[in-house]
C-alpha cells in the first residue's frame, strides 16, 4: 500500500514537471503587418475592385484600433468621429485579456468576413491560434473571446453602410448616343464597375459629393478645343516615351503605379488575367514601410493603418461619385476612333469612366494623412511592387510619391491631364479634411 502511494506521488510529480509552462503572448508590429499582408494577398487572389478593396482594409483596422485605443490614453476612440460607430463592448474579465492579441484576432476575423476565399484566412488564423494556445491557453482564450466580440460589434455597424444594398442595384447603362460618354474598352470590354459606390456610407466626409471637383474640360473634338488638346497630349506623350522601347523613365513610372487588380491578357483564343494590388493596397504598403522605418510600436502601427485606410475609403467614395456623374469617355476610345486605330495605351484601361483619376485622388488623400502621421519630407524606398517584378523606387516625401502616381496615369495613356491634376487636388483636400476632423490622438 505504501509502495502504491509512493509510486502515485512520484507519478504525480512527474506529470506536473512535464506539464507545459505558460508564457505571456507577445504581439509586435510585424504581427499586424503580417495580417494586413495576408488580407492583401487574398484580395489579389479574389480580384476585388479598388473601391471594394478600400472597404476591406478599413473595417478590420478600425476594429483593431478601437480595442487598442480603449487601453491607451494617447489615442482617442473613433466613436462620434466616424459615421454610425458606437462604443465597443467592455470585456467581462479584463485582467485576463491581452489587448494587442485581441485587436489582432479582431482584425483577422473581420478580414475573413470581407473576402471570398475565407479558407485562406482561416488557415492563416488557425496556424496562429495553435501557437498562441500553446503558449498560454487562458490568455489566448480570454483575448480571443473579446476580439471576436468586438469584431461582431463592428460587423453589425459595417453591415449598415449600404454595401449589401448596392449589390442588387441596376448595372451601369452605357449611353451610346452621346459621344462624350464612357464606353467599355478593350480587350475585355467589361461593364462599368461599382456605379453605385457613391451610395456607400462615408466614414468622415459629410457626403460623397462634399469634395466634388470642377467639371472636366467641355467635350469637343475641335482641334483648338481644350478637350481635344488634352486628348492629343495623351497620344503624343505615349508615342514620345515609347520611341526608345519600354526602358524610358516615364514607362517605368506608369508600370510601377499600374495597380490594376485585373489585367486581361488575350493569346489566340485564350483569355486570362494577371493579378496585381489595387491603388489603395499600394499605399497600405507604403504605410507599412513608414511604420517599419520609424520603428513604430503596435499602437502607432495600427493607428497609421487605420487613419490611412479611412481616408482612402472616403477618397474612393468621393472619386466614384464624380466618375459616374461626369461619365467621361476614356482616351483609348477616342484615339482609336479619331486619331490612330492601332494605338494602345501602355497600361490597360480600367473598366469605369475617366474623370477624375482614382489613383490620383487616393494618392493625394493618403499622402496628406501619412505626412500628418510621419512628418514632412519623409524619404523612403518603395518596394511595394517588388513581388510583381518591378524595381524599388525612392521618394523624398509622400507628396512626391502622390504626384508621381498621378502623372503615371497620363504616361500610361489611361487619363487626360485634367483628371490627374484635379484628381490629386481633390484627394489632398479630402485628406486635409480627414486630418482636421479625425482626432485620433489625445
Instruction: Please give the full DSSP string across 191-215, using - where no structure is assigned.
Output: PPS-TTGGGSPPSSSS-TTTTPPPP
Q: Structure pTM?
A: 0.94
* 274 φ/ψ angles, rounded to the nearest 5 degrees: -100, 140
Looking at residue 22, what is its pLDDT? 87
Looking at residue 276, what is its pLDDT? 85
Which residue in 172, 208, 205 sits closest to 318, CA to CA? 208
Looking at residue 27, what is its pLDDT? 98
Rounded CA separation 75/157 (Å): 21
Rounded CA separation 364/385 (Å): 19
Name the segment(s) of the chain with CATH classification 1.10.606.20.
177-437
177-437 topology per CATH: Vanadium-containing Chloroperoxidase; domain 2 (1.10.606)
Which residue in 364, 74, 82 sits closest to 213, CA to CA? 364
SS3 (DSSP) at 48 = coil
Cell (9 digits) for 305: 493603418
Cell (9 digits) for 262: 485585373
Put residue 27 in one of left, alpha, beta given phi > 0 → left and psi -120 to 50 → alpha: beta
Looking at residue 213, what is its pLDDT? 98
| CB contact at 8 A, 361 and 318 | yes
What angle, 0 to 180 degrees and rounded to 10, lies between the N-to-C axes of helices 398-411 and 226-241?
A: 90
DSSP assignment letter at 187: T
Looking at residue 268, what is its pLDDT? 57
Please report, in tens digits, the pLDDT of each residue of the chain (442 residues total).
544 555 444 444 444 444 557 899 999 999 999 999 999 999 999 999 999 999 999 999 999 999 999 999 999 999 999 999 999 999 987 778 999 999 999 999 999 999 999 999 999 999 999 999 999 999 999 999 999 999 999 999 999 999 999 999 999 999 999 999 999 999 999 999 999 999 999 999 999 999 999 999 999 999 999 999 999 999 999 999 998 655 799 999 999 999 998 787 655 555 556 778 999 999 999 999 999 999 999 999 999 999 999 999 999 999 999 999 999 999 999 999 999 999 999 999 999 999 999 999 999 999 999 999 999 999 999 999 999 899 999 999 999 999 999 999 999 999 999 999 999 999 999 999 999 999 999 9
Amino acid at each position: 500500500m505504501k509502495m502504491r502511494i509512493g509510486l502515485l506521488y512520484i507519478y504525480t510529480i512527474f506529470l506536473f514537471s512535464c506539464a507545459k509552462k505558460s508564457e505571456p503572448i507577445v504581439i509586435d508590429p510585424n504581427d499586424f503587418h503580417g495580417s494586413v499582408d495576408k488580407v492583401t494577398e487574398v484580395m489579389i487572389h479574389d480580384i476585388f475592385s479598388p473601391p471594394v478593396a478600400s472597404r476591406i482594409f478599413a473595417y478590420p483596422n478600425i476594429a483593431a484600433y478601437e480595442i487598442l485605443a480603449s487601453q491607451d490614453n494617447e489615442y482617442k476612440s473613433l466613436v462620434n468621429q466616424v459615421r454610425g460607430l458606437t462604443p465597443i463592448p467592455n470585456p467581462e474579465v479584463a485582467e485576463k485579456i491581452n489587448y494587442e492579441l485581441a485587436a489582432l484576432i479582431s482584425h483577422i476575423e473581420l478580414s475573413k468576413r470581407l473576402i471570398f476565399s475565407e479558407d485562406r484566412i482561416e488557415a492563416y488564423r488557425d496556424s496562429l491560434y495553435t501557437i498562441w494556445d500553446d503558449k498560454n491557453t487562458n490568455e489566448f482564450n480570454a483575448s480571443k473571446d473579446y476580439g471576436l466580440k468586438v469584431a461582431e460589434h463592428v460587423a453589425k455597424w459595417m453591415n449598415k453602410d449600404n454595401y449589401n444594398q448596392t449589390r442588387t442595384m441596376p448595372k451601369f447603362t452605357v449611353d451610346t448616343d452621346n459621344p462624350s460618354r464612357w464606353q467599355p474598352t478593350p480587350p475585355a470590354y467589361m461593364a462599368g464597375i461599382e456605379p453605385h459606390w457613391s451610395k456607400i456610407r462615408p466614414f468622415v466626409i459629410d457626403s460623397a459629393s462634399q469634395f466634388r471637383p470642377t467639371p472636366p474640360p467641355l467635350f469637343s473634338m475641335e482641334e483648338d478645343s481644350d478637350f481635344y488638346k488634352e486628348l492629343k497630349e495623351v497620344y503624343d506623350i505615349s508615342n514620345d516615351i515609347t520611341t526608345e522601347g519600354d526602358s524610358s523613365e516615364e514607362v517605368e513610372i506608369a508600370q510601377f503605379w499600374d495597380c490594376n487588380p485585373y489585367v486581361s491578357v488575350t493569346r489566340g483564343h485564350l483569355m486570362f488575367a494577371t493579378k496585381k494590388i489595387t491603388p489603395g493596397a499600394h499605399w497600405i504598403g507604403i504605410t507599412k514601410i513608414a511604420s517599419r522605418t520609424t520603428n513604430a510600436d503596435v499602437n502607432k502601427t495600427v493607428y497609421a493603418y487605420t487613419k490611412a485606410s479611412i481616408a482612402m475609403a472616403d477618397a474612393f467614395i468621393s472619386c466614384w461619385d464624380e466618375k459616374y456623374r461626369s461619365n467621361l469617355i476614356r482616351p483609348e476610345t477616342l484615339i482609336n476612333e479619331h486619331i490612330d486605330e492601332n494605338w494602345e495605351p501602355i497600361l490597360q484601361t480600367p473598366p469605369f469612366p475617366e474623370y477624375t483619376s482614382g489613383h490620383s485622388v487616393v494618392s493625394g488623400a493618403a499622402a496628406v494623412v501619412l505626412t500628418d502621421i510621419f512628418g514632412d519630407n519623409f524619404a523612403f524606398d518603395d518596394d511595394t511592387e517588388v513581388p510583381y517584378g518591378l524595381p524599388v523606387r525612392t521618394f523624398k516625401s509622400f507628396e512626391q510619391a502622390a504626384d508621381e502616381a498621378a502623372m503615371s496615369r497620363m504616361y500610361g495613356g489611361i487619363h487626360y491631364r485634367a483628371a490627374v491634376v484635379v484628381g490629386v487636388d481633390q484627394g489632398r483636400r479630402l485628406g486635409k479634411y480627414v486630418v482636421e476632423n479625425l482626432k485620433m490622438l489625445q
